[in-house]
Amino acid sequence: MTMKKILFAASECVPFIKTGGLADVVGALPKAFDKNEYDVRVIIPNYACIPEKYQSEFEYVGHFYMSAGYMLQWVYVGVMKYEYEGIKYYFIDNKTHFGGSQPYGNICWDIENFCFFCKAVLSVLPMIDFKPDIIHCHDWQTGIIPVYIKTEFAGSEFYRDIKTVMTIHNLRFQGVWDIEYIRGLTGLPDYLFTPDKLEFNKGANMLKGGLVYADYITTVSKTYAREIQWAYYGEGLDGLLRARNHQLFGILNGIDYSIYDPETDKKIYKNYGLKDSREGKAANKTALQEQLGLPVDKDKYMVGIISRLTDQKGFDLINCVINEILADDDIQLVVIGTGEERYENMFKHYAWVYKDRVSANILYSDDLAHKLYAAADSLLIPSAFEPCGLTQLISFRYGTLPIVRETGGLKDTVIPLNEYDNTGDGFSFTNYNAHDMLHVIEYSKEIYYNKPDMWQDMVKRGMRKDYSWSASTEKYMKLYDMMLTPPPAPEPEPEPKAEEASEEKQPKAPAKNVDAVEGAQL
């Protein structure tokens, strides 16, 4: 069997650099493929802010000078290499572009850095001696790669047959700036900056380039794949996504089950499993309450929030009704996250007002996050949109019930409680409305205090779910295999018989586009 060669191109990847869920996916997914059949490698920028303990292990492969548009001429491209947990990683080196203290900064500079990155990824392939069958691009930072493959690089023998997949982790971020700037950086010809290609509201859109030119598009849940074809969630690209409906798949993310396992997790206070989850969670709760200075009470209903503090995550809903949520002394709210200042301040303020009920941890700490997954009774995720969402998957694993808005991956993974037949493993609401959210929080509290057996049944159902990477990896393999299987040779047309021949002349009804609403299925 010939080895299928896949290159993941992305702007972040665990354990080297992370600002969000994208890094978790790019870090975990390559490891889940069968190594006898798939050689999956990863390429990201060599950010100066990658921890020294990794950087010091990187091996220098080589360097050269590259030109793209007139604004990027004769620039240094270095390549570093590192093998980690069985996967080969490559790092594009250039301190002007990736020398900052954080991976991203001002969007204008980010666009310049990632236009450089897109061309550099393709240019280094001969040097690292790896000709991928498929380049799997993630998010807008890699959007120009499929464009180059189908245009500037298409004339070259080396690049001609390389196929591309573009995965959308978040459609809100697209990499848009004015046409002259992106043309000047990339050197792409004028004819690409038209509304059917890279042009977008009179600017140029890097993600759109990827979505137009990639052979296939995926996103990270089935529902999000359907939602982005509607104007409400489509961020101005819904028409294009509808047009590419047949090459658009929703494949749910997984989580790394070896990292998130309450039976072995060294970051939590007390390990537990399905059988002793009640006692185990209570012990974790009281220890966390003590650490955070909250009243220690194993029976107090604890709601967690672990999130980037951005608009996407529904914090304006919380802001509307936070006094109602915290009105009584029967709830504790523990927040971990950083992000927009107004939300950071909002939680700090309420932690000051309700000292005995709110703990606002405005920081990113993996350690504390694990402790909260184990300690909390429920996790609140009222997102305006959510391509997949990873925190609800982790919370299931720790016996913590998600309270979610029914959108994207949240809708696909959380089954709301149905008391009458005792099914479900979480709580949900449909409309983006603060009082709908308040109502389900109140409802969850009522079940927690008044129907503890029902609550425990939900905990067990959640813990039994399987959101490891295995199911999703199967789907990616199916997609790759389909892309790499040559189409069957057309069968020779049989000679038509006399009566059939006349039928053939009737115009046929067009085949029904069964995927038009659902998005394509794998």
Residues near ligand GLC (CB under 6 A) are 20-22, 25, 169-170, 220, 253, 386-390, 409
In angstroms, how far is CA 339 from the centroid of its own chain?
A: 17
**Which phi and psi (to 5°) does residue 420 adopt?**
-75, -35
Q: Which helix (H) or strand (E) holds 21?
A: helix 21-28
Q: Which is nearer to ligand GLC, 27 or 209 (CB)?
A: 27
**Which phi and psi (to 5°) does residue 323 adopt?**
-65, -35
Q: Which is nearer to ligand GLC, 11 or 284 (CB)?
A: 11
Amino acid, single-letter form, for residue 124: V
What gap in Å lies between CA 339 and CA 348, rounded to an integer?
A: 13
Q: Which is nearer to ligand GLC, 285 or 405 (CB)?
A: 405
What gap in Å lies between CA 248 and CA 251, rounded to an integer?
A: 10
In whole angstroms, the minimum distance from the beta carbon of 389 to ligand GLC comes to: 5
In whole angstroms, the minimum distance from the beta carbon of 390 to ligand GLC comes to: 5
What gap in Å lies between CA 317 and CA 435, rounded to an integer?
A: 8
Q: Which is nearer to ligand GLC, 336 or 351 (CB)?
A: 336
What gap in Å lies between CA 338 and CA 323, rounded to an integer?
A: 22
Q: What is the largest CA-CA distance in the chain?
A: 88
In whole angstroms, the minimum distance from the beta carbon of 167 to ligand GLC comes to: 8
Q: Which is nearer to ligand GLC, 22 or 125 (CB)?
A: 22
SS3 of residue 339 by DSSP: strand
Q: Which of 34, 28, 3 is nearest to 13 (CA)?
A: 28
Tokens of 521: 């299925």
Amino acid, single-letter form, for residue 201: N
SS3 of residue 390 by DSSP: coil
Q: Which of 22, 26, 19 is nearest to 40 (CA)?
A: 26
Q: Which is nearer to ligand GLC, 280 or 389 (CB)?
A: 389
Q: Which is nearer to ligand GLC, 214 or 294 (CB)?
A: 214
Q: Which is nearer to ligand GLC, 66 or 165 (CB)?
A: 165
In whole angstroms, the minimum distance from the beta carbon of 410 to ligand GLC comes to: 8
In whole angstroms, the minimum distance from the beta carbon of 170 to ligand GLC comes to: 4
**Contacting residues for 243 by C-beta, under 8 A, at least 6 apart:** none
With CB atoms as reference, the residue minimizing the distance to ligand GLC is 21
In whole angstroms, the minimum distance from the beta carbon of 211 to ligand GLC comes to: 16
In whole angstroms, the minimum distance from the beta carbon of 493 to ligand GLC comes to: 46
Q: Which is nearer to ligand GLC, 166 or 282 (CB)?
A: 166
Tell me the angle at which helices 107-128 and 179-186 cross, rounded to the nearest 10 degrees: 20
In whole angstroms, the minimum distance from the beta carbon of 421 to ligand GLC comes to: 30
HEC secondary structure over 43-59: EEECCCCCCHHHHCCCE
Q: Which is nearer to ligand GLC, 388 or 438 (CB)?
A: 388
Q: How many CA atoms lie within 13 A of 347 on its CB side?
A: 29
In whole angstroms, the minimum distance from the beta carbon of 20 to ligand GLC comes to: 4
Tokens of 18: 């992370």
In whole angstroms, the minimum distance from the beta carbon of 177 to ligand GLC comes to: 22
Tokens of 120: 């550099």
